[in-house]
């Protein structure tokens, strides 16, 4: 069984997210950034992989924030 997930949130420095997430997404993740608003869509995801992919995504975002704040 495959599922799709959409995550929406506001991030003051959203531009860095594309740099962080794009190289690691395997074409499963699409992202729209409009100002501070971010929509991340994960598609054709195996249900058994849902936790791992979302966990990886959260780690990518946290690392991106850390790198962005250190610049």
pLDDT in tens, 52-71: 888 988 888 888 788 877 76
Parent domain of 12? 2-70
Residue 48 maps to which CATH number?
A: 3.30.310.50
Supply the pTM of this predicted model: 0.75
Query: What confidence score (pLDDT) does residue 23 get?
Result: 60
Query: What confidence score (pLDDT) does residue 24 get?
Result: 58
Q: Name the domain count of the chain.
A: 1
Write out the chain in H/E/C secondary structure: CEEEEEEEEECCCCHHHHHHHHHHCCCCEEEEEECCEEEEEEEEEEHHHHHHHHHHHHHHHHHHHHHHHHC
pLDDT in tens, 2-25: 889 999 999 887 877 777 776 656
> Which of 70, 71, 64 lies closest to 15, judged by CA?
64
């Amino acid at each position: 069984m495959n599922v799709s997930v959409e995550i929406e949130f506001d991030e003051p420095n959203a531009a860095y997210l594309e740099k962080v997430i794009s190289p690691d997404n395997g074409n499963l993740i699409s992202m729209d950034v409009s100002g501070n608003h971010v929509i991340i869509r994960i598609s054709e995801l195996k249900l058994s992989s849902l936790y791992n992919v979302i966990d990886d995504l959260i780690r990518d975002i946290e690392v991106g924030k850390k790198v962005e704040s250190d610049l």
